[in-house]
Amino acid sequence: MAAISGHSSQPTFCLFAGAGESGKSTIVKQMRILHVNGFNPEEKKQKILDIRKNVKDAIVTIVSAMSTIIPPVPLANPENQFRSDYIKSIAPITDFEYSQEFFDHVKKLWDDEGVKACFERSNEYQLIDCAQYFLERIDSVSLVDYTPTDQDLLRCRVLTSGIFETRFQVDKVNFHMFDVGGQRDERRKWIQCFNDVTAIIYVAACSSYNMVIREDNNTNRLRESLDLFESIWNNRWLRTISIILFLNKQDMLAEKVLAGKSKIEDYFPEYANYTVPEDATPDAGEDPKVTRAKFFIRDLFLRISTATGEGKHYCYPHFTCAVDTENIRRVFNDCRDIIQRMHLKQYELL
């Protein structure tokens, strides 16, 4: 949630909302990089353990899934069996000491074609988004004098529980941004943020069209995001509140669409008959398949916002990639104008 003041004596509040693992915290981290002084060496040091825990969680999850997905995936190299057993044995240890032995086993396992094949099927189980990113950087993460980069910090996944505030000023306008947990049991805490809200920034993970949510291992993640969006859009207390929609994880969506393994129409049958609107502007050099996919998902959300609203509130969609600082800088600059207009309208200064 972001509080803006500057055009009137009243602050403006913007709620950051979205389902679990949509990228809300990553966007708030970008605000720190762009508008606060980023992360100091001490804060970077404090994140090392979280990053190494991401590595452990990732390899434990993949190796454990090899025998549970149907059909199961065997190790390509049977000599890696003892490594796989080692990883499973350390899974329950919470205050684990990250030894060189651990990193060596992880590196060898990640090089195993069977482990890679299981990773390719990660939509069949629950795997953190940053798994590949950190497993590919195991050499640097394992260094004794490892210092995380900004990109490492952006990728690092830590479950958000509670409400976190980031404050900054841009062009004499004060922002208070509140990051809230997106898992179902966290959402009841949002209600305390709804008072005096001027705009909601809703974050949706577009790449999640072929995944299920952690909470029940059954509900489609994109469907859950659409349902949550609809409940916020139609909430009787929020009928005059406009929503800025961040259609996030565009990089991962493009990757999935171009890989061609998971077809959108298998999860959303209406995609088969979808045609891209004439006014759609693709990015330079963008594959037409990617353009069609991203506008289809955009239109799923816009269908909800145009069905009701009576002209009292609007939905402003933006395609985003939360780990791309330049993309977030550009999008946020566009949003500032929209939010400031809403702020003026709220206090009838427009």
Residues 88 and 164 placed together within one structural domain of the fold:
no
What pLDDT score was predicted for residue 163? 76
Residues 330 and 267 placed together within one structural domain of the fold:
yes
Q: Which of 99, 126, 98, 103 minimizes the C-alpha distance to 20?
A: 126
319 found inside a domain? yes
**Residues 6 or more apart whose Cβ sits within 8 Å of residue 185:** 215
7 found inside a domain? no
Choosing from 108, 135, 155, the residue where a domain stops is 155
Domain interval for residue 169: 12-39+160-344
Task: Give the residue ranges of the annotated binding site for Mg(2+).
Answer: 25, 160
CATH number of the domain that residue 175 is part of: 3.40.50.300
Domain count along the chain: 2
3 found inside a domain? no
Residues 62 and 108 placed together within one structural domain of the fold:
yes
Residues 136 and 164 placed together within one structural domain of the fold:
no
What pLDDT score was predicted for residue 4? 47
What pLDDT score was predicted for residue 312? 83
Residues 203 and 307 placed together within one structural domain of the fold:
yes
Residues 94 and 195 placed together within one structural domain of the fold:
no
Which sequence positions are flagged as catalytic?
Answer: 21, 26, 157, 179, 183
Residues 188 and 97 placed together within one structural domain of the fold:
no
CB atoms within 10 A of CB 120: 12
CATH number of the domain that residue 107 is part of: 1.10.400.10
6 found inside a domain? no
Choosing from 106, 128, 155, the residue where a domain stops is 155
Residues 148 and 292 placed together within one structural domain of the fold:
no
272 found inside a domain? yes
Q: Looking at the chain, how many residues does it have?
A: 350
Task: Give the residue ranges of the annotated binding site for GTP.
Answer: 21-26, 154-160, 179-183, 248-251, 322
Residues 138 and 196 placed together within one structural domain of the fold:
no
120 found inside a domain? yes
Q: What is the pLDDT along the chain (350 residues), one digit of tens a residue?
A: 454 444 455 666 777 888 889 998 899 899 889 988 899 999 999 999 999 999 999 999 999 999 999 999 999 999 999 999 999 999 999 999 999 999 999 999 999 999 999 999 999 999 999 999 999 999 999 999 999 999 999 999 998 777 777 777 776 666 766 666 767 787 777 766 677 778 889 999 999 999 999 989 899 999 999 999 998 999 888 888 899 999 999 999 999 999 999 999 999 999 999 999 999 999 999 999 999 999 999 999 999 999 986 778 999 999 999 999 999 999 999 988 888 888 788 777 65
Which SS3 state, helix, strand or coil, does residue 277 take?
Answer: coil
Alpha-carbon dihedral 307, 308, 312, 318, rounded to 10 degrees? -50
Choosing from 123, 155, 187, the residue where a domain stops is 155
CB atoms within 10 A of CB 160: 18
Task: Give the residue ranges of the annotated binding site.
Answer: 21-26, 154-160, 179-183, 248-251, 322
Query: What are residue 317's phi and psi, to 5 degrees?
Result: -85, 145
Return d(Cα 147, Cα 33) in angstroms, integer. Answer: 16
5 found inside a domain? no
88 found inside a domain? yes
Q: Which residue has the tokens 């990113």?
A: 133
Find the helix or strand (DSSP H, E) in which 264 lies: none
Residues 78 and 216 placed together within one structural domain of the fold:
no
Residues 268 and 208 placed together within one structural domain of the fold:
yes
Query: What are residue 10's phi and psi, to 5 degrees?
Result: -80, 135
Residues 143 and 70 placed together within one structural domain of the fold:
yes
